[in-house]
Amino acid sequence: MTKDLLIQYVRQGLGLPGPEPRAPHSSEWDSLCDAMMQHRVGGLVLRALTENGVALPPHIAQWFSAWQNMTTRWGGANLLTMRKILPQLEAAGIPVIVFKGAVLQQMAYGSMFHRPSSDLDLLVDLADFDRAGQLLAGVEYKLSPVCRSLWWKLGLGEQHFDSVDLAAVTLDLHHRVQQPGCPLPQHPARFFDQRHDVILAGQPVPTLSLVHSALLAAMSCAKALHHREPALRYILDLVALVHGPSRVPWRDIMLEAELQGLANTLRLATRGAKLILGPAVLPDAEHAAILTRVSDATLGEMIICPDDPSIVWPKRRDLLFNLVDRKSQFIADLAAMVGSDLLRRAAGTAGPGRDHEGNRT
C-alpha cells in the first residue's frame, strides 16, 4: 500500500493528471518517509501533500523540515564550490561540465533545491583528467584514499576529491558518464560540443544539453538496475525533463539515443516510466520491446524495491545484452565489464561507496 501511495504522490508532484491521492493513514507515515528517503523524492511528495492540504503529524513535519534544511545546506555548499572551482578549471584551459545534482534539478524541476546532493559531479575529457585532478589537489582538495586504485580511474572512470573543509561538498571528477556493465555513449565529444549554461543563483554553470540530460537520466536508470539499486528517481527525472519547465522534445531525445547507441537504454527507462506512472506518461520509444523475459511486475519491483529477496533478477550479462543496440558491440562491452570487475577485485574493494546520485552512502 505504501508503494502505491508513494507513486500517487510523485505523480501529483510531477503535475501529471489523475485523481487526488488520499491522505496517509497514521500507520503509513513512517514507512512512507522511509520510501521517500530511499528514493530521494521528498520534494515531490511534499509538493503534493501541500497542494492537497494534508495535515502532517508533528514528527513527519519535523522530518520534512530536516529534509529541506539538508537540501538547502548542501545546495548552498554546491554553489560556493562551483564559484571557486569552475573559474580555475576554465582558466587552466580545461573544458568542464557540471552534471547531475543541482543543475539537473534546476532543469527538470525548476529548482536546484529539489533534493539533497552532497557531491559536485564534474565531467572533463580523458586527456584533461590528470591535469584537472592536479588542479583540484592544489585548491584545498585531496584525492580520497579509496579512489587511488586503477579500478576507480580506469574501471569506473571517476575519482573523488575530499575538501579539507569537512562541511564542503566532495568533488567527483569523471571522464565518463556511464560505468561498465551498461552501454557507453558512442560519441561523448557531443556532450562538450553541445554543452550550455544553466543559471544558478545568478551564476552561469556549464552543463549537459537538455537532450543529453534526459539521456543521462535513462543511463542512470540502467546503471541502477545493473547495481540492483533503486531506480525510481531517475525515471522521475526523465519524465520531469519531458513534462516540466524544460519541455525537452521527445523526438530529439530519441534521435540522440539512436546516434549514441543508447536507444535500448532509453526504451528500458521508458518502459519503466509507463509501467509505474501510466502508459501515457511518455511517448512510445518506437514500439520496440525491451527485456522481454522480465515481467512488468518484476520490473516494477526491480525499480522500486530492489532489496526484495523474492525478485528473480536477470544476470548482469543478460541485462547488458538486452541494452546494447548493436549486438556486435556486446563482446566489447562485456569485456569492459569483466575487466572492471577484475580491477575492483585487485583493489580489494566491494564497491564505490556512493549511490548513483553521487552522494555518500
| 261 — pLDDT class (breaks 50, 70, 90) | very high
Sign of torsion, CA 102 285 324 222?
A: positive
Neighbouring C-beta atoms of residue 73, cutoff 10 Å: 14
The CA distance from 153 to 133, in Å, is: 11
Q: Does residue 292 have a pLDDT over 50?
A: yes
Q: Does residue 349 have a pLDDT over 70?
A: no
DSSP 226-272: HHT---HHHHHHHHHHHHSTT---HHHHHHHHHHHT-HHHHHHHHHH
Cβ-count burial 287-318 (b if 16+ within 10 Å, e if not): eeebbeebeeebbbbbbbebeeeebeebebee
Placement of cell 527538470 in the chain: 108
Q: Does residue 276 have a pLDDT over 90?
A: yes
In a domain, 55, yes or no: no
pTM of the full structure: 0.93
Q: Are 238 and 214 in contact (CB under 8 A)?
A: yes
Which CATH number goes with the domain that contains 323?
Answer: 3.30.460.40
The CA distance from 88 to 131, in Å, is: 12
Pairing of strands 203-207, 196-200: antiparallel
| 190 — pLDDT class (breaks 50, 70, 90) | very high
Q: Are 78 and 117 in contact (CB under 8 A)?
A: yes
Neighbouring C-beta atoms of residue 19, cutoff 10 Å: 8
Placement of cell 551564476 in the chain: 203
Q: In this prediction, what percent of the chain has a pLDDT beyond 90?
A: 84
In a domain, 198, yes or no: yes
In a domain, 18, yes or no: no
Q: Report the pLDDT averaged over residues 324-336.
A: 93
* Contacts with 301 (C-beta within 8 Å, 6 or more apart), sequence order: 308, 310, 311
Placement of cell 583540484 in the chain: 136
Q: Report the pLDDT averaged over residues 156-161.
A: 95
The CA distance from 35 to 10, in Å, is: 12
DSSP 327-352: GGGHHHHHHHHHHHHHHHHHHT-SS-
DSSP 128-187: GHHHHHHHHHTTTEEE-GGG-SHIIIIIISEEEEEESSTTSPEEEEES-SS-TTSPPPS-
In a domain, 51, yes or no: no
In a domain, 139, yes or no: yes
Q: Does residue 100 have a pLDDT over 80?
A: yes
- Host domain of residue 232: 83-347
Q: In this prediction, what percent of the chain has a pLDDT beyond 70?
A: 94
Q: How far apart are the first and last CA of the chain?
A: 27
In a domain, 269, yes or no: yes
Q: Are 29 and 2 in contact (CB under 8 A)?
A: no
The CA distance from 23 to 350, in Å, is: 41
Structurally, the chain folds into a number of domains equal to: 1
In a domain, 98, yes or no: yes
In a domain, 19, yes or no: no
CA distances from 90 to 83, 86, 122, 178 (A): 12, 6, 12, 24
